Amino acid sequence: MCKLLAVSGNQEEDLGNILEVFVKNFGAKNPDGWGIAFLDESTGLYHIEKVYNKDQKLLEETFFQDLKEIKTKTLIAHLRKASIGRKSIENCHPFENYVDDHQFVFIHNGTVWPRRIIESKLVNYKPKSSDPTDSELVFCYIMDVLEQKEVNLNSYQDMVEAINKIILRIRSEALITKLNFILADHKYVYCYGWNELQYLLISENANSDSHNKKQFSHPNGKVVVCSKPILENYPWNIIPPKTILVLRDGKIQYTSD
């Protein structure tokens, strides 16, 4: 089963160590292509790297050779276990697209079947792969809705409303639906937990002996969202099913729970 990771911080820092732990924990069982997107604060755009190799050792070497230091506030990463769509570089996550000049990146774990349910809904946004994953199709559908409905892309309230409507439509028509995903732009990270995502809240203002189990001291505040806990001895919290968590600058901006 694919694994997802998102990190939102309050300032730029090297997040390579978190990425290494993520890959160490889950890479071997998810060998069908890895990818990351990290925000470049100077441009406000995500830089995306994807790798695919049938050889596990070469996959890991290729993935890390250009990522020795990932200094950013916002990072998302995906380790793929192929189910729908062939094993290929174009089917690796994250997927990227634009509504006008507004960039979005997307990663997903789960299944939406049959694919034609989503394909039949697409208007302006089409998959780049000739044998697309259900994940890319869902992303294209999200892009279509955001464009057609003229959603205020800078309003997380409008975005949450649009995302919820999209999910309801998919659930009402697909025979199999499982949607754990992360959608991010230059401001917000939208984390939708279908049934497995967990988060860790690190506050730079909390004392190490704080009685609040969701917070503890760290030089830089951040929120880490992952399919399963990756940092030991830290108090992880389950994102309740069918819940959207909105992250910005190392804090939880909103939760639909």
**Where are the chain's structural domains?**
3-255
CATH 3.60.20.10, applies to 3-255: yes
CA distance 63 to 221: 27
Parallel, antiparallel or unpaired: strands 243-248 and 251-255: antiparallel
Amino acid at the residue 140: C
- Which one, of 177, 167, 181, 91, lies nearest residue 127 by Cα? 91
234 sits in the region (left: phi over 0; alpha: psi -120 to 50; else beta) called beta
CB of 215 closer than 8 Å to CB of 201: yes
Q: Which one is predicted more confidently, 97 or 217?
A: 97
Alpha helices by DSSP H, the chain? 16-26, 56-65, 115-119, 134-148, 156-173
The DSSP symbol for 155 reads -
Query: Strands 176-177 and 189-193: what pairing?
Result: unpaired
Distance CA 195, CA 205 (A): 31
Say if residue 219's pLDDT is above 80. Answer: no
Tell me the pairing of strands 3-14 and 222-226: antiparallel
- The pLDDT value recorded for residue 232 is 80
At 70, is the secondary structure helix, strand, or coil? Answer: coil
The whole-model pTM stands at: 0.93
Which of the residue ranges 50-54, 208-212, 252-256 would you say has the lowest mean pLDDT? 208-212
**Percent share of the chain, pLDDT over 70:** 93
Q: Which two tokens stand for residue 72?
A: 């950013």
Reported as a single tens digit per residue, the pLDDT across 47-59 is 999 999 999 889 9
Across residues 181-193, what is the average pLDDT? 97
